[in-house]
């Protein structure tokens, strides 16, 4: 039988497992929101601990919180940040839309643990109060959006951006390495005029470079913190210097450029910063899907597809077809991209659905946002390591397809005109001839003229990949 203790909140007493640090409001949430299995993300829990740590320090500095209590709260928060007490944060994503239960979960855990650090007990006789001490100068309405922004910015800076940069570097190296390989281009899934493999990959590089700029452009808004707005943005029950100083403290302990939001009403009432940042992530997903699809098409085969590039063979591809190997990294990345696009729909709907002074879709928004960052970062790392870094050209196949393409006839436009060039291509296709044989048969060119004018290496222009 589970040993319990009695905890109390404004609604009365409730039994809580005696070995747990949480209190009454966490217990009520566990009983009232038994919805699915998704829990509050660990990075969000850590962001809440960082927020409480910063608030305790600033409240002490402003003379609002006794030094011994502040020190104990900070020590308890540091324990959470070190990975201790992980099982003390069991609440579901699907709870109150302001994240109040998760804010109180953190308040209760830190209050009980701080009381123990001070030599006291957990429970109703604790020496540190979850609301009066841990939540001093705060409301769930400014704490939770602050933690959302802290978690989001740190995830983008520490996980996603490094992996995006690494993949971009890999593809840039491939673009330079393959700069002299002339291949046939394709538009509308049909043969087109030539380009180099390096030029083709340089397009992928430019896409990712644009994505990085869009993501970085979104960061200053994410760096704005709601803390200090309290319930509706007015800053009720806070010291005049609190908002600025707590943002500075968070910036110091995270080495991130956090600032106090210039308008707390916007910071509480909307999720616009994360909506816009996720829009940039959706753009990255669109680019990654295009790149992954191009790679698997170019690598299709090995004998009956395009087969212009080879990618690493990582694992068997079929339980029935011996020797089959599939472009699994490309498939994984495209599934990641689909999920990110779905997350974007949910985040946009949640962001658009706030009413008056508070958005109440926050747990869902941050859950999806952090999942997107994790999926994209991990997906790019896997794709980079197990696919992109191993891309190699199949020069023989590239040359074969280049020489067989009817679209090389485009080089003749300026010599004999579009109509005659089209006639050459159509005759060659209909009769199974080479372009040269068709042109000579029609009497439009000599062999020498064809060889002088139809030179694929001169058809790729001067658009070399940037270095």
Residues annotated as catalytic are 188, 318
Tokens of 431: 């009769």
Name the region of 369 (left: φ>0; alpha: ψ -120 to 50; beta: rest).
Answer: alpha
b/e map 182-198, b = 16+ CB within 10 Å: bbbbbeeeebebbbbbb
The verdict on whether residue 326 carries a ligand-binding annotation is yes
Q: Is 27 exposed, middle or buried (0-12, 13-18, 19+ CB in 10 A)?
A: buried
The verdict on whether residue 131 carries a ligand-binding annotation is yes
Question: d(Cα 344, Cα 347) in Å, to the nearest integer?
Answer: 5
Question: d(Cα 227, Cα 235) in Å, to the nearest integer?
Answer: 9
The verdict on whether residue 368 carries a ligand-binding annotation is no
Question: d(Cα 216, Cα 408) in Å, to the nearest integer?
Answer: 42
Residue 427's CB is within 10 A of a number of other CB atoms, namely 16
The verdict on whether residue 99 carries a ligand-binding annotation is yes
The verdict on whether residue 187 carries a ligand-binding annotation is yes
C-alpha 192: how far from chain center: 34
Q: Helices 42-61 and 362-386, interaxial angle, to 10°?
A: 120
The verdict on whether residue 57 carries a ligand-binding annotation is no
Question: d(Cα 444, Cα 331) in Å, to the nearest integer?
Answer: 48
> Which of 348, 370, 358, 376 is CA-nearest to residue 40?
370
The verdict on whether residue 103 carries a ligand-binding annotation is no
The verdict on whether residue 410 carries a ligand-binding annotation is no
The verdict on whether residue 139 carries a ligand-binding annotation is yes
The verdict on whether residue 36 carries a ligand-binding annotation is no
Residue 356's CB is within 10 A of a number of other CB atoms, namely 9
The verdict on whether residue 319 carries a ligand-binding annotation is yes
List helix spans (H) across 122-232.
Answer: 140-155, 161-177, 197-222
> Please, what is the end-to-end C-alpha distance for the chain in angstroms?
68
The verdict on whether residue 414 carries a ligand-binding annotation is no
Binding site, annotated residues: 98-100, 129-132, 139-141, 187, 319, 324-326
Binding site, annotated residues for substrate: 98-100, 129-132, 139-141, 187, 319, 324-326
């Amino acid at each position: 039988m589970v040993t319990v203790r009695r905890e109390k909140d404004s609604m009365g007493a409730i039994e809580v497992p005696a070995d747990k640090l949480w209190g009454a409001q966490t217990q009520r949430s566990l009983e009232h929101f038994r919805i699915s299995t998704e829990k509050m993300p660990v990075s969000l829990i850590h962001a809440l601990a960082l927020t409480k740590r910063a608030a305790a320090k600033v409240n002490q500095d402003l003379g609002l919180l006794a030094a011994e209590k502040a020190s104990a709260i900070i020590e308890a928060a540091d324990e959470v940040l070190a990975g201790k007490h992980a099982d003390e944060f069991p609440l579901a994503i699907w709870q109150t839309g302001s994240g109040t239960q998760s804010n109180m979960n953190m308040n209760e855990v830190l209050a009980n643990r701080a009381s123990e650090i001070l030599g006291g007990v957990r429970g109703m006789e604790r020496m540190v109060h979850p609301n009066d001490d841990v939540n001093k100068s705060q409301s769930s309405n400014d704490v939770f959006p602050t933690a959302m922004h802290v978690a989001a910015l740190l995830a983008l800076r520490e996980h996603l951006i490094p992996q995006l940069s690494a993949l971009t570097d890999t593809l840039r190296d491939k673009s330079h390495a393959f700069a002299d390989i002339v291949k046939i281009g394709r538009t509308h899934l049909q043969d087109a005029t030539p380009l180099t493999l390096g030029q083709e990959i340089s397009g992928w590089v430019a896409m990712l470079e644009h994505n990085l700029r869009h993501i970085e452009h979104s960061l200053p808004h994410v760096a704005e913190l709601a803390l200090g707005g309290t319930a509706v943005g007015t800053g009720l029950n806070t010291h005049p210097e609190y908002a600025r100083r707590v943002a500075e403290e968070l910036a110091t302990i995270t080495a991130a450029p956090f600032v106090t939001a210039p308008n707390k009403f916007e910071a509480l009432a909307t999720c616009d910063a994360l909506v816009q940042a996720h829009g940039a992530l959706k753009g990255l997903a669109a680019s990654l899907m295009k790149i992954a699809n191009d790679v698997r098409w170019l690598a299709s085969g090995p004998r009956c597809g395009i087969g212009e590039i080879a990618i690493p063979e990582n694992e068997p591809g079929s339980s029935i077809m011996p020797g089959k190997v599939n472009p699994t990294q490309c498939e994984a990345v495209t599934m990641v991209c689909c999920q990110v696009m779905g997350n974007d729909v949910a985040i946009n709907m949640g962001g658009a659905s706030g009413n008056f002074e508070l958005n109440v879709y926050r747990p869902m928004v941050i859950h999806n946002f952090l999942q997107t960052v994790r999926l994209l970062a991990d997906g790019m790392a896997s794709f980079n390591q197990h696919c992109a870094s191993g891309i190699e050209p199949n020069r023989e196949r590239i040359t074969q397809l280049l020489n067989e393409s009817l679209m090389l006839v485009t080089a003749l436009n300026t010599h004999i005109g579009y109509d005659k060039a089209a006639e050459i291509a159509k005759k060659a296709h209909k009769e199974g001839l080479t372009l040269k044989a068709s042109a000579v048969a029609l009497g439009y060119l000599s062999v020498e003229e064809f060889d002088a004018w139809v030179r694929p290496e001169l058809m790729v222009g001067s658009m070399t990949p940037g270095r």
